[in-house]
Chains A and B, each alone.
Chain A
């Protein structure tokens, strides 16, 4: 008798940072656990957060935004349950500041003073903005000293090429694309500004946190299996799956930086506390959420036990 199957609705986006989920699903990591993953395609977590809080989505792979903090601050039943990407001190940069080769070569960017008056493009989404803000703080500058330009990602490359902006903040695969097109070079990886930053994670909503924790546990087992496959690196198989799910060329996927994910799913809570104090000073959040208010380790603990037994 096959076990009763549980449906888990998970927000899907064809971004590189969804790679783990795509790999896990493609490799059937959930199948023998009785979990059926249903993808709900959306563009960003802005749309997904309320759905998660209302129990219309069960799992939201996401990145940190002030809205997430504010929602938990107000008692929404959502928690971070696993790592999905952080900024490693060494290795390739998943997010970076890029500038034209000439600007970097000129040496102007070697001192913070050189930033004054430059046009810097990014999105006021937290990570991009957090990196910039941290950069400026490190140099005792404020946002008034530069010109911040909000740009949709696809326009960044053209803007840099046309000289409409001086510096852009981008993530993969845009970094590789910009570099390969010759429009710009990496000037400063974001990890140098916000080292170790936990930019990406997996969230559960009330349906898995409260109603059906067991399903959450099982899902996590599948997820961590996916992480292990991901950590095998740029194997042909992995490249093909990710390229297939995101629609990117395989060469681009292969050339791009894959951010590291801890195979235990362990999450650096310290990083989020630092982020919160920054966001609070910026007036983006209404209060600080303590660790137990945003992080629920029970799921990875269970999954790690199961996976340890398997081996």
Chain B
């Protein structure tokens, strides 16, 4: 029930010629697995998510999914890094959008949406339009929208990046609850190495541009994990390892000017 990416390559055509964003990217996500993606800024993480979501055709390579989604249920739902909350819909319509698309009747979908809006703490803002929200509030709308869609695969591009530490923790708990109750694959982009270790079954660490998977790190810690364990030898070891890779990639990127 997972999916396999094989030899993916993406080259963008830009005004100043071609730009190789990804090269030779191969990895797979197994059934009910939580995979984190970390890598230097601009290495192609968002590009990978768009490929998996089918929003971008790879220049090279293929993606194979193990199952065809059951009727109605979408294969994947994405929390976009730029939120992508529709400015012309209020919060509740934004959150209920996926259900509307699937033809769920208005009252029913609004009831479902309301539940998720409450969980992300925006009940007072159901009727507000996005331009009346703070950035973090918009991000929460985008999270609720993805949760409501209830997909097989959750693609999350720094979903909690604009939230304060405490709200982030609450949202993380929510995510872990959903993930453990319903069998889903999650591909999760984050900049926070500790977060990746706390959440992931596996971490894919990417090189700088053009992005490749430099290393796959299996995290064999028991769940539920506790943030306060983070000084355990195991965690520190992984953290330092990832940090070193990142440091190497970022420093060399900065040296050559990207």
Do A and B touch each other in the complex, judged by CB within 8 A? no
Q: A interface vs B, CB < 8 Å?
A: none
